[in-house]
Structure 1
Amino acid sequence: MFRLTCVLTLAVLASGCETMSTKVDLEPVQPVRYAQAAPVLGAAPSGSLFQAANYRPAFEDPRARMPGDTLTVQITERLNASQTSSASIDRSGEISGGVSAFPFLKTPLLDKLNIGAQSDNSFSGDGKNQNNNNFSGSITTTVQEVLPNGHLVVVGEKQIGVNQNVDVLRFSGTVDPKQIRAGNTVASTQMANVRVESRGRGAQGEAMAIGWLARFFLSVIPF
């Protein structure tokens, strides 16, 4: 009876450790502000068919220019970094001394008074660090702000959730309108202050995480 009670207790405790359902939405690290196009103040009617406030060139490319416009960013980020260092130290020394003559001491005793010391020190170390990151993709962003010099601050987010797994891609940066290509696209390598976030949550992320007990032992073991 005691064994059965223990088994039932362990079963109840194990059920409490069951993985909870994953929240699909991932909150951004910083709140994202979605820009809205500023209302255009209508000019006083002049009786002319031409209105400067609503003028758009007939042969102009549909490129982003105002808050609220969309812009497609082709993300192509590649970062390769390597560092190598080496050090070598070698030092040696030797000293010796003796007594050749001393009153009231015989020669055999003087031979035993010879003193000598020798030391050798050496050290060598090598270190190497290498980091390779490649990221490619595309995301459609929204113009959040137009700077005084005409540059556009764009922000975009893409979130895909399948069952209990979710992947989020967030992008922000500043672009010069001159770099916008035909089709209203721009390469991320031609933008400034680029920030790319790719995060995921779900069973795959939990499988790659270190358990709390393993993290505890890693923090207390001194070697």
Structure 2
Amino acid sequence: MRIQILNNKAIGIIPICLVFFLGACSTSHRAVDSRSTVIPKNLYTKPSNQKPEEGALWPGNTRGNFLFGDDKASVVGDIITVTINENASSTQSATTNTAKDTSLNMQAPNVLGLPSSLGIQNFLNMGTQFDPSVNATVANSMQGTGTVTRNGTLTATISAIITDILPSGNLRIEGRRSVTVNHEEQIMVLRGVVRPQDINFDNTIPSTLIADAAISYRGEGVVADEQRKGWLAKVFSKVWPF
């Protein structure tokens, strides 16, 4: 008897553990780790100790010493300022109208040489004779209308670092910014590929000129937590059939 009671308790504990397990699986993880570095240190170009040549006016690294040259970002580790001004809007609408009418009229004046009433004058005690004729009408119609409208605007400025130089000469950039105010953390991440000739003389570039751009702006904290469903509500949302 005691073993059976313990088994019943164990069976009752299993659904509770399963609910907690599903709730733990349904929790969302951060898509961005704001504490990690943007690029590893081994990607930065190390300055080389160049020996001055005999008769040279500028010993060592001469980058940026050209009179008619510019000092735009061009190597891994340089910084580019990205002006984000994204406006996206879309509208979709659909209208459906269908109609179908079907009618059926079938009569049998004679059945195997006999009259259609088959001699039955009081069919089912209704006081009328038997009539095998069939007359049916079916009408079906449907009307549907749907409209979807989405608008999104993001305006910001973020500095990005050149992480790689592609064989085509284009620059791969990545930028990350994290601002924490009163335990509420706002995280912005930008990744993409830019052309060196699109970079302005002041090392700025608009986000509209970034290829393969991925821009993420999200928050973590009290306000963000209140905008999410609880773990139990997520479980019921996944298994609720209606």
Same fold (TM over 0.5): yes
> Aligning the two structures, in what range does the TM-score lie when normalised by the shorter sequence?
0.7 to 0.9
- Structure-2 residue corresponding to 1:33: 39
Contact 1:99 1:110 in 2 (8 A): no
Secondary structure in 2 matching 1:64: coil
CA shift, 1:110, in A, is 7.1
Provide the TM-score with structure 2 as the length reference: 0.70
Equivalent pairs counted in the alignment come to 198
- Structure-2 residue corresponding to 1:6: none
Secondary structure in 2 matching 1:155: strand
**Structure 1 residues 107 and 210 mapped into 2: Cα distance closer, same or farther (>3 Å)?**
closer
- Structure-1 residue corresponding to 2:28: none
For structure 2, which runs of at least 5 residues remain unmatched after alignment? Answer: 1-31, 122-127
Contact 1:72 1:141 in 2 (8 A): yes
Please give the alpha-carbon distance, in whole angstroms, between the structure 2 residues aligned to 1:184 and 1:78.
23
CA shift, 1:130, in A, is 2.1
Please give the alpha-carbon distance, in whole angstroms, between the structure 2 residues aligned to 1:48 and 1:165.
55
Superposition pairs for residues 28-107 of structure 1, below 5 Å?
32-34=38-40, 35-40=43-48, 42=50, 45-49=53-57, 54=62, 56-101=65-110, 102-103=113-114, 105=118
Superposition pairs for residues 181-196 of structure 1, below 5 Å?
181-196=200-215
Please give the alpha-carbon distance, in whole angstroms, between the structure 2 residues aligned to 1:144 and 1:106.
98
Superposition pairs for residues 1-223 of structure 1, below 5 Å?
27=33, 32-34=38-40, 35-40=43-48, 42=50, 45-49=53-57, 54=62, 56-101=65-110, 102-103=113-114, 105=118, 112-223=131-242
Provide the TM-score with structure 1 as the length reference: 0.76
For structure 1, which runs of at least 5 residues remain unmatched after alignment? Answer: 1-25
Q: Which moved more, 1:186-195 or 1:98-107?
A: 98-107
CA shift, 1:221, in A, is 3.0
Q: Which moved more, 1:154-163 or 1:123-132?
A: 123-132
Q: Percent identity?
A: 25
> Pairwise CA RMSD of aligned residues?
2.9
Instruction: State the one-letter code of the partner of 1:32.
Output: V
CA shift, 1:182, in A, is 2.9
**Structure 1 residues 44 and 103 mapped into 2: Cα distance closer, same or farther (>3 Å)?**
same
Contact 1:43 1:53 in 2 (8 A): no
Contact 1:100 1:110 in 2 (8 A): no
